[in-house]
Amino acid sequence: MTRRQRLETLFAQAAGYIDQQTGGVVPAIQPSTTFVRDEQYDLLRDNNIYARDDNDIVRLAEKILATAENAQDALVFPTGMASIAALFRTIRAGQTIIMQSQIYWGTTKWAREFCERRDVKLIEQDTSKTDETIALIAAEKPALVFIETPSNPWLHITDISALADATKQVDAILAVDSTAAGPATSNPLDLGANIVMHSGTKSINGHSDVLAGVLAVDDETRTIWQDIKVDRHDAGAVIGSFEAYLLIRGMRTLPLRMERMSENAMAVASYLSNHDQVDHVFYPGLESHEAHALAKSQMQNGFGPLLSFTVKGDKQRALDVVGKMKLFKRATSLGGVESLVEHRYTIESTTGIPETLLRLSVGIEHIDDLIADLEAALS
């Protein structure tokens, strides 16, 4: 599918949606779980039988997301984890998955337990090391390579095109968790990935009030995609009408929000990297980042809201800094309009996260207020 409109237009207009019954420019929320048949027992609408997988407003959300990602098809799930689970469930016992190491902890924990139970061989690899990963893919011939870029909370950047070539040679699927970038900032399918995944809970919705997940595919005839579709339909990991409505409402401003969040995050990263109380800043927009050039080639209009930094001192000093913040709310998650801060070590103490690492999700507030909050907390 070729994307004719620019993303700002696509999202603002909800892919040109007009309600055919009322002329409304906003989709109606249909709460019905079931749909009637006529006297001949024909369906009033061919594709509306039962709401487990027949829901107009969900289909609209999927159309917008598929178009934005230049995908042939997209599916929305009730959470990001439900979409990852639907993808992993297509892998059979005895097959191999290469998964990026040190990514979103929820993914790592769930994937380890799932693969163990299902006799799937799981190899965790730092996929930002391109040559090493290409050699591993050739040697292990995995069914699935799952990467997250930028990664959370380390902000590692993985070379999507290079790994797309390597996976193609062994007939594997390359799936990219693109949550930290989002569809307005990076389009992994354009770079050769086969499936792109998002936690819609983050910047796609953007208002910290909906849980959602997304998978989108480059070629809908793939067996894995048919399996995922059947799994969602039959196993029922579907989002409700009201949540889909909120997701679409949030998406209308996605490019605008991303622009401001990325601009603010860049300014915060620059400020922190010049601060004498800060040890290291992890942000792909900084020229000092290990893969700045690669990030620049894979991302457009900025580098997203997510950044991490280590404060000088010990764990208590990091907690003191977090405790003094007033604007940055002490909460997990990312990509919302409000800025958030997390002391990751408190959440995942066993994964090698430094005790002094703070993760920020930078929102759309005025940059002067954000910098003032950080200045007060660090001083």
Ligand X SMILES: *Cc1c(COP(=O)(O)O)cnc(C)c1O
Residues that bind ligand X (CB under 6 A): 79-81, 104, 106-107, 148, 152, 177, 179-180, 199, 201-202, 211, 213, 334
User: What's the length of the chain?
Assistant: 379
- CB of 337 closer than 8 Å to CB of 257: yes
Shortest distance in whole angstroms from residue 149 CB to ligand X: 10
Residue 87 CA to residue 351 CA, distance in Å, equals 24
Q: How far is the CB of 306 from ligand X (least distance, A)?
A: 8
Token digits of residue 361: 């999700």
Q: Which is nearer to ligand X, 278 or 308 (CB)?
A: 308
Taking the C-alpha atoms of residue 187 and residue 181, their distance in angstroms, rounded to an integer, is: 9
Known active-site residue 50: no
Q: Which is nearer to ligand X, 89 or 312 (CB)?
A: 89
Distance CA 109, CA 336 (A): 24
Burial class (CB in 10 A: 0-12, 13-18, 19+), 20: exposed
Active site annotation includes 104 = yes
**Residue 81 or 173 with smaller CB distance to ligand X:** 81
Closest distance of CB 180 from ligand X, Å: 6
Q: Which of 54, 56, 104, 257 is catalytic?
A: 104
Nearer to ligand X, 340 or 378 (CB): 340
CB of 103 to ligand X, least distance (A): 7
What is d(CA 205, CA 338) in angstroms, rounded to the nearest whole number? 13
Instruction: Look at residue 173 and give its three-state secondary structure.
Output: strand
Give me the residue whose beta carbon is nearest to ligand X.
80
Q: Which is nearer to ligand X, 67 or 179 (CB)?
A: 179
Partners of 37 in beta bridges = 43
Residue with smaller CB distance to ligand X, 84 or 374: 84
- Mark whether 17 is an active-site residue: no
Q: Looking at 53, 54, 159, 177, which residue is catalytic? A: 177
Q: Shortest Cβ distance from residue 105 to ligand X (Å)?
A: 9
Report the amino acid identity of residue 377.
A
289: tokens are 């980042």
Confirm if 196 and 204 have CB atoms less than 8 A apart: no
Q: Is 300 exposed, middle or buried (0-12, 13-18, 19+ CB in 10 A)?
A: middle
In angstroms, the CA 12 to CA 7 distance is 8
Compute CA distances 276 → 279, 315, 316, 342, 379, whole Å: 8, 17, 18, 21, 10
CB of residue 248 vs ligand X: minimum separation in angstroms? 17
| Residue 48 CB neighbours (<10 A) | 16
Taking the complex as a whole, the smallest distance from the CB of residue 375 to ligand X amounts, in Å, to: 28
Whose Cβ is closer to ligand X: residue 123's or residue 211's?
211
User: Would residue 52 show up in a list of annotated catalytic residues for this protein?
Assistant: yes
Q: Pick the catalytic residue: 202, 260, 344, 359?
A: 202
Q: What are phi and psi of 371, to 5 degrees?
A: -65, -40
Active site residues: 52, 104, 177, 202
